[in-house]
Structure 1
Amino acid sequence: MTEIRNVAAEIARFKRRVFIIGLVVLTAFGLLCARLFYLQVVRHEDLAEQAESNRTAIVPVVPNRGLILDRNGIVLASNYSAYTLEITPSKAGDVEEAIDNLSKVVDITPRDRRRFKRLREDSRSFDSVPIRTRLSDEEVARFAAQRYRFPGVEIKARLFRNYPNGETASHVLGYIGRINQREKTAMEDWSDEDLANYKGTDYIGKLGVEQSYEKTLHGLTGVEQMETSAGGRAVRRLASHPATPGNTVMLALDIKLQKLVEDMFGNRRGALVAMDPRTGEILAFVSKPTFDPNLFVEGIDTDSWKELSESLDKPLLNRALRGSYPPGSTYKPFMALAALQTGKRGPNVVVNDPGYFNFGGHRFGSPEGNIGGVDMRRAIQLSSNIYFYSLANEMGVDLIHDFMKPLGFGQITGIDLGGELRGVLPSTAWKRAAYKRPEQQKWYAGETISLGIGQGYNNFTMLQLAQATAIVADGGIRHKPHVVLATRDTVSGQVTPVVQPPADDLGFAPANVAVVRDGLVSVVSAGTARGVFAGAAYQAAGKTGTAQAVTQAQNTKYNARALEEHQRDHALFMGFAPANDPKIAVAVIVENAGWGAGAAAPLARRVFDYWLANQYPSEADMAAIKLGKATAPIGTPRVASDVVWPVPSPTAPAP
C-alpha cells in the first residue's frame, strides 16, 4: 500500500523545531555571556580578592612580651619560644579518643590531661587549646609524620613567659595566663585599635605588674601574608610586617632585698613593705607565703590550683596589698602626732599610768603594768596603753578619723598594682553605713578607747602603714607609692620615667614631727627594740607593736599556748632610718608571731642594714631569724654587694 506523506507539513514542523532549538541555544548562550560578563566585569574585583584570599592567608604575628627588670637591671620576667601541640575541639571529633591516640605518638601525662580539661572549660569549642607544651624536636617530627591521622590537631610555635627567680616577688610581678571567657567579653569594650592589636594573642597579664602594665608589655602585633595550599598549609611567605616587641618595664624593687626578706620570713606568714620616703619608690614588697608564677604560664593543672587555693596559709593572698590588720601599738606615734597637730595634748603633759584605765564601768588593762607618770616621748618609748587610751577618749573617733585619713589609713593609696584593699578607718559615719540595725549603727564612747592603741575597728594594710611611716619620716610630705620607675622602648632604647603626681605637704609643724621622731628614736635606743638595734651603724627610729588576731574576753589574760596558732597575736614594727635623714621606711607584720620586738623588728633591722650599711646576714643569723629567735645580728655579716645572685637559701637547723 502506498504511504501518503504531507511533505510541506513536515518541513514546516522541522523548521519550527529548528527555530525553537536555535532560540533555546541562543538564549542559553546569551545567559552564559551575561553570566561571564557579570563575573568577569561586574564582580571582577570582588572575586579576584576572594581568589587571592583562598590562595593566601593573613596571619597575626604575636610580639615578644616586654621584659621586667629590677632597679639594678636584674631580669625578673623574660620569654622563651617552644612548640606546643594544640587541639581544636570542634574539628577533632571525639576529643578523648584523639588524646588517647596522640599519647601513642607523643608523651601526654595525666597532668597534661587535667590542664587541658581546665583550659577547655574556659574556652570555646573552636578555640585552639594546648594539650602539650615544650615539645622536643623529636616529638615534633614524630607528630608531623602522622599529622594526617589527627584532624583538628596541630603544632604551633609559641612564646612562653618565664620567671627565672621562681617564687621571689611573685605577688609584685603577677603572672600571665590564657585569656578566659570573662576577659574576652570584657575586651569587647576595648577600642577597635586595641582589640586589633590583640589578634592572635592568647595570653594576658593576670596580676601584679603583668596586669597593671599589660599594654606596655604586650607590644604591637605584626602580620604575615602567606601563600597556602588547598589543604590550608602555608607554602611560602609573600609579605610581612614584623611585630614590635613590648617595652621593658623597670621596677623600683631591689630583688636582692626582696629575696632577703622572703628568706627571713621562712615558713611564717606576713608582709613587709619598704619604701623610699623621699620619693614613694617601693624597694621591697613582700607577702609570705609566695607562689611560683611559672605554674600559671602554661595553664595551671587542677591539683596545683587546688593546693594553692585551698591552703590555710593562703599563698595567693597578697598580704601587703590586700591583707588587713589592726596596727596595734605601731599606731601610737600617729596618735601622738594627731594630739600635737590638733592641740589636744602637748608633748610635756604627764599622764599617770597605773596599769589600767577605767571608763564607763569597764577596765582597760595594759601588759606593761604600773609605769607611773609619762609624757608623750616616754609614752611612745614605753608603749603606754593608758596614755593613749586617755588620748583617744579626749580626741573622739571623728577627730582621729579626720587626722588619720590624709596619712592614708583606710584609704586607697593609688599604688600601680591592682586589687588594693581599702581597710577600715572607723568613724561615726562609717559605722552608720557599715551596719543595718539601728542599735549597731550607734557609736559608743567606749569603742573609741581601744582605737588609741591600734585595736578596735582599725584595720589597715602594711602598704598603708608603710606610707604613713614614710610621711612622718619625710616631715609630713606625702608621695604616691609606686613600684615602676620607668619604661624602656625596645626599638629606640629610650628610657621614659613614669611620671608621678606632685607630692602633698600635709602641713605638719616641724616641732611636732620632732617630738614623735624623738619618741621613736627612744624606742630603738632605750625601749622595746633596743636589743634588736644594738650595734647598728646608723640611728634608727621605730615602734614595735602587738595586735590581737581575735578578740578576747574582757579582763582575760592572754595565753598564746592556749590558743590555736592562727588565733595568736600578730607581731608588727614600723620605722625609718637614719632618723635625722631618712632614706628608707619599713612596715612589717609577722602573723601570729606574738611580740613585735621578737619577730618583726629583727626583719626591719636587717632591711636597714642591707640598705644603709651594705650588710647581708650571716648564715647563722639567717637561721635564727627564720626561727623567730633573732635579736641583734650574730656572726659576721656578709657584704651585701658581694652576695652572689640568686642567693642560696641556707637550711635552718632544727629548733
Structure 2
Amino acid sequence: MKHRVELRNHPIELHKFRIRLAVSAAFVVVLLAILYVRFYYLQITREEHYHTLAEANRISILPLVPNRGLIYDRNGRVLAQNYSAYALEIVPSKVADIEDTLDELATIIEITAVDRQRFRKLMKESKRFKSLPIRNRLTDVEIASFAANRYRFPGVEIKARVFRQYPEKEIISHVVGYISRINDRDLEQLELNGDLTNYRGSHHIGKIGIEQSYERELHGITGFEEVETDAAGRSIRVLSRTRPTSGNNLILSLDLGLQEAAEKAFGERRGALVALNPNNGEVLAFLSKPGYDNNLFIGGIDQENWNLLNNSIDRPLNNRALRGIYPPGSTFKPFMALAALELGKRSPEYSMSDPGYFSLPGVNRRYRDWKPGGHGRVNLHKSLVVSCDTYYYSLANDLGIDNIHNFISQFGLGKRTGIDIEGEVSGLLPSASWKMKQYKQKWYAGDTISVAIGQGYNLTTPLQLAFATMMIANNGKAYLPRLVKQIQNSQTGHIEDVPAELLYTLNLKPSHLEIVKNALVDVTRPGGTAAKAGANAAYTFAGKTGTSQVIGIKQGERYNEKSINERHRDHAMFIAYAPAENPQIALAILVENTGTGGSTAAPIARQVFDYFLLGKQPESTVAQVTEVLEDHAHEHL
C-alpha cells in the first residue's frame, strides 16, 4: 500500500490567509472609520442643521391672519366691518377630479352654478396649491353634513374665516371700494414692496378706494403659531403663539347722512357730487351714481354679475366723481372773471353790448350766446348772474389761451388734486403748447373762444371743480382733499387726527374776490340762473350753473333736447358753497344728460345744503323745475 504524498504547502497558505485576513481587517477598519467620520459629521458638525430639519418635520409654523381694520364715517356709522363664518374650501392640487368632487359635494351641500363659475374663475387666477372657497357662510346643518362625510373628500375642508361686509353697499361703493382675492399680480407687488411675508395666510387685499389706498393701515400684522405635529401631519399641541396685530380703524371725514341726502336728491339720475369743507379740505360727501354692491367682489365676483356691471350702459363701475371727465361749461366763468380782474383785462365797471353773438375780427362766423337777442348791456357782475356767453367770448379773445391756462391752472383744473384714493385722472386745461404737442397744430383764436365758456378742449372732473370752488369760498387757499379724518390704533384705542394740509395760497386781491363772490350769490337770487333753487332759502349761498355739451351743434342750429337721444343730451352742472358769509361746505354737482344746471343740478345742491345746514331731509326725487331765464333757450354752459 502506497502512501499519498501531501502537496499542500502549509506555511505558504497560512501566509496567504494572514494577508487576506489583514486586508479584510483593514477594509473593515476603513469602513468603520468612514462610518465614524460620517457619524461625526452628521451628529457633531451638522448637528444644528439636522436638528432644525427634524424640528421642522415635527413643528409646523402656521400664520395667524389679523383682523382687518374697520371703516367708519365721521359720526361713527360703520362703512366696512368684519364677521366670522365657516367656508367650504378646496385645494385643487389635492383633488384628483375637480368636477367629480363638486358633483359629490353638491349631494350633501348646496352648490349652485354661480358657485361653480366663481370657483373656476378663482382657479384660473390662483395657484393650484392654494385653498379656494367653493361656498361661504355655511349653515350649521351644512357643516354637520360635511363633517359626517369628510372622509370621502380629500383636499376639501371647512375653515373658519373672517369675512368683510359693506352694510351701505352702493351708496359708498366708490369711496370705500372693496377687498378681493389676492392674485398673482398682487403677490408680485407685495414682494416688490417687501410686504409678502406679512401676507402669509391672507387671502384678500384692498383693490380700489379706501380699502386699497390704506391697505397697510387696515391689514395689520400677521402672527404665527408653532404647532407640534405627528407623523401623519395632525396637530398635537401648540408650542408657542405670537398673536396677530389687528389693522387700524379708519374714521372718514365723510358724513354718511349727507351722502344719503345727496343720493336721495339725485333720485334715479346718473352723475356725481363732491362736497368739501373749504376750511380744511375734508371730503364731506363723495357720490357717484349709479353705484354697485361692493360685497359682490369679496369672494370673487361671478361671471353673471360681472357681465351685468361691466356691460351696463349706465357704467356703475365708473367712479364719475374721481375719473369722469366733462367740459365744465359755465362753471368755468367765475375763474375767467377772476383772471380778467387779476390780469387787468377788465374792470368791474367795464360793460359791453351783447347782441346775442360774438364775431372774431376777419372771421365769417358768429359765436352765439345761449339767449337769442342777447342780454343787452353787460358788465362783469351781470355776466356771471345771467351767464352771458358773449361777454366771455370777448374776454377770452383779449386774454389769450396761455394767460387763461396759466391763471386758471392755479385753481387745480386740469391736474390731479392728490386726494387720498387712487385712480384720479388729471382732466385737461388746454394751452397752445399742449395742442402743438398733442396734434402738431398751432392754436387758433376760435379754440380760445370755446375754452372761454368751458367747452372745446376743456375737460375736468367733479372733484377738481369742487376743489376749485373751495378756493373761491376760502379766498384762495388750496387744501389737499382727503377722505380719512382720523386713524384709530387697534391695540390702544388711541385716535390720531390726520392734519389738514395747506398746499398753497393764491395771492388774489380781496376786492376782486369780493366782486366775483357777490355775483355768485346773485346767481341764486331773482334774475339769476339758479333763482328757483335759491328761492326762500333760510341762508345765503353762492353758486354758478353750467351745461356741459355732449355733442356739438352745427352753426346756425339751436339745441333741441327732445330731438336728441337721451344719452347725447347735455349734462347739468353746478358749483356752490354755503353759507356765503362763512362757507362751511363747497360742492360740485354733475347730472348726466338732463339739460341745464339751473333746472337740475342746482336744486340738488339746495337739498344738500338744507340737510347740511338745517338738518332737513331731501325729497325722494328732484322736481323738474325750469328756470325762467331758460324756459325757451338753452344755455351752452
Task: Give 1:106 shift.
Answer: 2.3
- Kindly indicate whether residue 425 of structure 2 is the aligned counterpart of residue 421 of structure 1: yes
Question: How far does the alpha carbon of each residue in 1:431-453 deviate from its partner, in whole angstroms, 9 at most, with x for none?
Answer: 11222xx4xx2111111112111
SS of equivalent to 1:274: strand
SS of equivalent to 1:406: helix
Distance, in Å, in 2 between the alignment partners of 1:406 and 1:562 is 39
In structure 2, the residue matched to 1:57 is 60
Task: Give 1:7 shift.
Answer: 8.6
Letter in 1 for 2:358: F
In structure 1, the residue matched to 2:633 is none
Does structure 2 conserve the Cα–Cα contact (< 8 Å) formed by 1:350 and 1:373? Answer: yes
In structure 1, the residue matched to 2:401 is 397
Distance, in Å, in 2 between the alignment partners of 1:34 and 1:424 is 77
Task: Give 1:24 shift.
Answer: 4.6
When normalised by structure 1's length, the TM-score is: 0.91
Question: How far does the alpha carbon of each residue in 1:123-179 deviate from its partner, in whole angstroms, 9 at most, with x for none?
Answer: 122222222222233333433443343333333322211111121211010111111
Does structure 2 conserve the Cα–Cα contact (< 8 Å) formed by 1:272 and 1:285? Answer: yes
Classify 1:17/1:250 alpha carbon distance in 2 versus 1 (closer, same or farther; 3 Å): same
In structure 2, the residue matched to 1:80 is 83
In structure 1, the residue matched to 2:630 is none
- Kindly indicate whether residue 626 of structure 2 is the aligned counterpart of residue 622 of structure 1: no
- Kindly indicate whether residue 435 of structure 2 is the aligned counterpart of residue 434 of structure 1: no
Task: Give 1:259 shift.
Answer: 1.6
Classify 1:99/1:537 alpha carbon distance in 2 versus 1 (closer, same or farther; 3 Å): same
Distance, in Å, in 1 between the alignment partners of 2:605 and 2:233 is 62
- Kindly indicate whether residue 345 of structure 2 is the aligned counterpart of residue 347 of structure 1: no
Unaligned ranges ≥5, structure 1: 632-655
Task: Give 1:630 shift.
Answer: 9.1
SS of equivalent to 1:616: coil
Distance, in Å, in 2 between the alignment partners of 1:101 and 1:387 is 76
Task: Give 1:86 shift.
Answer: 2.1
When normalised by structure 2's length, the TM-score is: 0.93
In structure 1, the residue matched to 2:366 is 363
- Kindly indicate whether residue 136 of structure 2 is the aligned counterpart of residue 138 of structure 1: no
Classify 1:100/1:3 alpha carbon distance in 2 versus 1 (closer, same or farther; 3 Å): farther
Classify 1:118/1:445 alpha carbon distance in 2 versus 1 (closer, same or farther; 3 Å): same
5 Å matches for 1:527-538?
Answer: 527-538=528-539
Does structure 1 conserve the Cα–Cα contact (< 8 Å) formed by 2:322 and 2:461? Answer: yes
Task: Give 1:3 shift.
Answer: 7.7
Does structure 2 conserve the Cα–Cα contact (< 8 Å) formed by 1:169 and 1:259? Answer: no
Question: How far does the alpha carbon of each residue in 1:452-511 deviate from its partner, in whole angstroms, 9 at most, with x for none?
Answer: 111111110001111111100111111111111110111111111223433422011111
Distance, in Å, in 2 between the alignment partners of 1:88 and 1:629 is 60
Distance, in Å, in 1 between the alignment partners of 2:19 and 2:149 is 65
Letter in 2 for 1:409: L
Task: Give 1:577 shift.
Answer: 0.8
In structure 1, the residue matched to 2:495 is 495
Distance, in Å, in 2 between the alignment partners of 1:309 and 1:288 is 15
Does structure 1 conserve the Cα–Cα contact (< 8 Å) formed by 2:178 and 2:206? Answer: yes
Does structure 1 conserve the Cα–Cα contact (< 8 Å) formed by 2:85 and 2:137? Answer: yes
375-384 vs 92-101, which deviates more?
92-101
Distance, in Å, in 1 between the alignment partners of 2:227 and 2:448 is 72
Does structure 2 conserve the Cα–Cα contact (< 8 Å) formed by 1:602 and 1:630? Answer: no
Classify 1:454/1:34 alpha carbon distance in 2 versus 1 (closer, same or farther; 3 Å): same
In structure 1, the residue matched to 2:109 is 106
Unaligned ranges ≥5, structure 2: 628-637
Does structure 1 conserve the Cα–Cα contact (< 8 Å) formed by 2:273 and 2:589? Answer: yes
Does structure 2 conserve the Cα–Cα contact (< 8 Å) formed by 1:327 and 1:460? Answer: yes
Letter in 2 for 1:32: L
Letter in 2 for 1:597: G
Task: Give 1:273 shift.
Answer: 0.5
Does structure 1 conserve the Cα–Cα contact (< 8 Å) formed by 2:267 and 2:620? Answer: no
Please, which of 152, 171, 187 is the counterpart of residue 184 of structure 1? Answer: 187
Question: How far does the alpha carbon of each residue in 1:173-229 deviate from its partner, in whole angstroms, 9 at most, with x for none?
Answer: 0111111112222222113xx332222222111111111111011111111111122
In structure 1, the residue matched to 2:582 is 581
Distance, in Å, in 1 between the alignment partners of 2:81 and 2:38 is 58
Distance, in Å, in 2 between the alignment partners of 1:358 and 1:19 is 122
19-28 vs 311-320, which deviates more?
19-28
The percent of aligned pairs where both chains have the same amino acid is 49
Distance, in Å, in 2 between the alignment partners of 1:421 and 1:135 is 42
Task: Give 1:88 shift.
Answer: 2.3
- Kindly indicate whether residue 515 of structure 2 is the aligned counterpart of residue 515 of structure 1: yes
155-164 vs 463-472, which deviates more?
155-164
Task: Give 1:103 shift.
Answer: 2.1
SS of equivalent to 2:136: strand
225-234 vs 254-263, which deviates more?
225-234
